Amino acid sequence: MKRLHPLILSVAAVCVMASPALAISGADALKRLNHDTDQTLELPEALAAAAKQFQALNKDNDLTLEKAETAGLVTDPEWKEYNKDHDGALELDEWLNIVRARPQAADTKKDGKLTVQELDSPAGQALLSVWPRIGKVVLSWRYIN
């Protein structure tokens, strides 16, 4: 039976590699992030989730996200563009500006709402990639007043 092990391992490796970009499906994202009765994600819902995510990512409990804390979530061009004070960290407003820009790119109909289809598009997936641990974290997120 030992012979099976390399095969199982290689199948597992292929599975991991075969799901690179998809952060989360649009339908799942709506289930978890949509807090009102419509079937679309609006900016306040995205920002509320992002503000909570800021706290979850900020492991050292200071007031900023350092590069290590945003690894894989924020691209280098985004760091350059949105880190307005050119320090080594993202303040909350800088972080939210990144999240604010992504829905605009994904909102192809420019109606201020993101549908399942828009969330499944490449730009939608870029927005959702902010929340790689969405299943564990977002379920308990609430609106911030």
| Interface contacts to Ca ion, rule CB under 5 A | 34, 36, 38, 42, 58, 60, 62, 83, 85, 87, 107, 109, 111, 113
The DSSP output letter for 127 is H
For Ca ion, the nearest residue by Cβ is 109
As a whole number of Å, the end-to-end CA separation of the chain is 58
Nearer to Ca ion, 83 or 125 (CB): 83
Residue 95 CB, shortest distance to Ca ion, in Å, is 9
Residue 110, phi-psi category: left (phi > 0), alpha (psi -120 to 50), beta (remainder) = left
Residue 98 CB, shortest distance to Ca ion, in Å, is 11
Residue 2 CB, shortest distance to Ca ion, in Å, is 46
Residue with token string 């009765």: 37
E strand residue ranges, 3-123: 41-42, 64-66, 89-91, 113-114
Nearer to Ca ion, 23 or 90 (CB): 90
Nearer to Ca ion, 12 or 144 (CB): 144
Enter the tokens of residue 48: 């509320």
Residue 136 CB, shortest distance to Ca ion, in Å, is 20
Nearer to Ca ion, 53 or 83 (CB): 83
Cβ–Cβ under 8 Å, residues 46 and 127: yes
